[in-house]
Amino acid sequence: MFTIKLLTGPGTLIDKLAILIGFISITMFSIISHEISHGYAALLNGDTTAKENGRLKFNPSHHFEPLGTIMFFLVGFGWAKPIPVNSSNFNHYKKGMITVSLAGIVTNCLIAGLLLCVYFFALPLFYKFASNIVLDFLKNFFYTFIVIGVRINFMLALFNLLPIYPLDGYNFIATLLPRCIGYQKFMIKWGQIIIFVIVALGIVGRYTNIPWLDLFGSYDDLIIKLLNKVEIASIKFYWGS
């Protein structure tokens, strides 16, 4: 239980509140950005469905999905209501499907890359100022916003790259393949179950210390190593070796 672990873990109440608000803010921003990018890509390809349904706005109430929100607070990862897309409105079907499928993944990678740059240049600020309640709150908030932002955006990109229905990776692969072959039929029937199994195996792997079962945990370890390298590079850049 992500939220319970955070609230019962070490640190002051102010620290925990800053971390929780930072986590919620960047997660909502990242997930909603992913969905909105699908809508804008569809709009550029001639489909106005998302725009007509008011789904090109950052208002969280327009993207609220009950189960995704519950999972968000329980395990620290959730999802928003999918953007409505009518591919029959595309000016060019294949081009439209490919660009819409990749839009969310590209957006998450761009956000992660931008936050990595911010982390590199802003890192000294987390050490520079004297400690007090307000500054500690702001430092914990922004540190969480940046670091968790990098991790969750790269994680969203990887997750959606999986060629499993109904993820973006499936839509991309299915567009390139001939229609009505066994792959599409199999994925439409079993895709959601496969995703559930992958997530369940990841949880089992995490709690039993079996890394190869936890695909996303192993990937997250690589992201953390990347953050550590950026931190070392930033320290060397500002203070030398």
Question: In this structure, what token pair is assigned to residue 229?
Answer: 């390298």
State the total domains in the chain: 1
pLDDT per position as a tens digit, 115-132: 999 999 998 887 776 677
Planar angle of CA 225, 21, 35, nearest 5 degrees: 75
Amino acid 60: pLDDT: 83
Sign, CA torsion 6/222/104/181: negative
Q: Please state the length of the chain.
A: 241
Q: In angstroms, how far is CA 135 from the centroid of its own chain?
A: 27
Average pLDDT, the chain: 88
Burial (CB count within 10 angstroms: exposed 0-12, middle 13-18, buried 19+), residue 107: buried
Domain that holds residue 115: 2-239
pLDDT per position as a tens digit, 25-47: 998 899 999 999 999 999 999 99
**Catalytic residue from among 35, 52, 65, 231:** 35
pLDDT per position as a tens digit, 55-100: 998 888 888 887 777 777 666 666 788 899 999 999 999 999 999 9
Q: Is 35 assigned a catalytic role? A: yes
Closest CA to 153 of 29, 69, 1: 29
Q: What is the largest CA-CA distance in the chain?
A: 64
Residue 157: pLDDT band (50, 70, 90) is very high
pLDDT cut 90: percent of the chain above it? 52
